[in-house]
């Protein structure tokens, strides 16, 4: 999401290429990650979408690279921005992802759901039909409740769930547990931002996080990310950044190992 923040597309391209150099093999994006500043000139035409920056930075894609994208909110066939709720609208967004990423099949498509009591069955079934066509390899869900996971799982296999989760944002702890029991990847967003959410990395001082960071000689952001990864073998990481130094720090967090005492302190 943060690849489009810097008006200089070279910054995003540098981050993407460095990530692959460092062994990153899972990139999470969405067709609705768009530069707020308008079209970007990336050398061979305008691009204001993160998906286009990914294509231009990394094609031909390494065979090991796994691209995840999202549909739901985004551009609709009439050119307006809204939530895709019909099969035709969802197909349009899937085809836009295919075109902008420059692939014939999407590795994984998450249905991004706005919280509410309505059913997601018809929308997930539409994506399942596109999976059967060969346009999509795996299906996932984002920003859901447990009952919506049950509804979708009755239609087609769910490969992953993306919900908010952090050391100070644990409202989805039950979903994390359920996913672990069912062999579904849990891919938290806001792992670093926490209660800051869309505004960015949390600035709230947390004595436990700071104490653990000092003991390990790392930053509090790295502690927050590493804590998330300690929540289960099924938990993956998608920290967003538009900076190479931040990217390298995020990747380094994967090597941090907490003791039982560390986890107890952070868990409190």
Whether 93 and 223 map to the same domain: the answer is no
Q: Which residues contact 257 (CB under 8 A, 6 or more apart)?
A: none
- The pLDDT assigned to 204 comes to 60
pLDDT above 80 (res 44): no
pLDDT above 90 (res 15): yes
Whether 28 and 109 map to the same domain: the answer is yes
- The pLDDT assigned to 23 comes to 96
Give me the active site residues, please.
33
Domain that holds residue 112: 2-162
Long-range contacts (CB closer than 8 Å, 24 or more residues apart) made by 191-195 = 191/165, 191/166, 191/224, 191/225, 191/228, 191/237, 191/238, 191/239, 192/166, 192/221, 192/224, 192/225, 192/239, 192/250, 193/166, 194/166, 194/167, 194/168, 194/169, 194/224, 195/166, 195/168, 195/169
Whether pTM exceeds 0.75: yes
Whether 242 and 115 map to the same domain: the answer is no
For residue 75, give Cα distances in angstroms to 31, 52, 260. 8, 15, 46
Whether 28 and 136 map to the same domain: the answer is yes
Say if 187 falls within a structural domain.
no
Say if 125 falls within a structural domain.
yes
Whether 158 and 252 map to the same domain: the answer is no
Say if 170 falls within a structural domain.
no
- The pLDDT assigned to 80 comes to 86
Say if 79 falls within a structural domain.
yes
Q: Any idea what DSSP says for residue 132?
A: H
Whether 25 and 151 map to the same domain: the answer is yes
Q: For residues 197 and 255, which has the higher predicted lDDT (pLDDT)?
A: 255
Whether 206 and 156 map to the same domain: the answer is no
Q: Which pLDDT tens digit goes with each residue over 221-249?
A: 999 999 999 999 999 999 989 999 999 99
Say if 41 falls within a structural domain.
yes
Whether 14 and 95 map to the same domain: the answer is yes
Q: How many domains does the chain have?
A: 2
């Amino acid at each position: 999401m943060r690849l489009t923040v810097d008006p200089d597309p070279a910054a995003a391209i540098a981050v993407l290429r460095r990530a692959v150099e460092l062994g990153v093999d899972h990139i999470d994006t969405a067709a609705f990650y768009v530069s707020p500043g308008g079209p970007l000139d990336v050398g061979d035409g305008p691009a204001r979408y993160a998906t286009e920056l990914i294509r231009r930075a990394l094609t031909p894609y390494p065979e090991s690279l796994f691209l995840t994208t999202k549909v739901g909110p985004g551009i609709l066939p009439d050119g307006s921005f809204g939530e895709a709720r019909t099969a035709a609208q969802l197909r349009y967004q899937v085809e836009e992802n295919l075109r902008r990423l420059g692939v014939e099949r999407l590795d994984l498509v998450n249905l991004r759901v706005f919280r509410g009591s309505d059913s997601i069955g018809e929308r997930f079934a539409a994506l399942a039909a596109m999976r059967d066509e060969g346009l999509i390899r795996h299906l996932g869900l984002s920003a859901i409740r447990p009952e919506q996971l049950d509804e979708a799982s009755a239609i087609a296999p769910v490969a992953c769930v993306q919900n908010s989760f952090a050391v100070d944002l644990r409202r989805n702890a039950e979903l994390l547990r359920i996913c672990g029991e069912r062999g579904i990847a849990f891919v938290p967003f806001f792992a670093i931002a926490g209660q800051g959410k869309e505004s960015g990395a949390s600035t709230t001082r947390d004595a436990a996080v700071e104490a653990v960071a000092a003991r390990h000689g790392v930053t509090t952001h790295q502690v927050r990310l590493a804590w998330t990864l300690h929540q289960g073998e099924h938990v993956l990481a998608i920290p967003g950044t538009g900076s190479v130094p931040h990217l390298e720090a995020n990747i380094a967090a994967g090597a941090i190992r907490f003791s039982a005492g560390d986890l107890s302190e952070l868990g409190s």
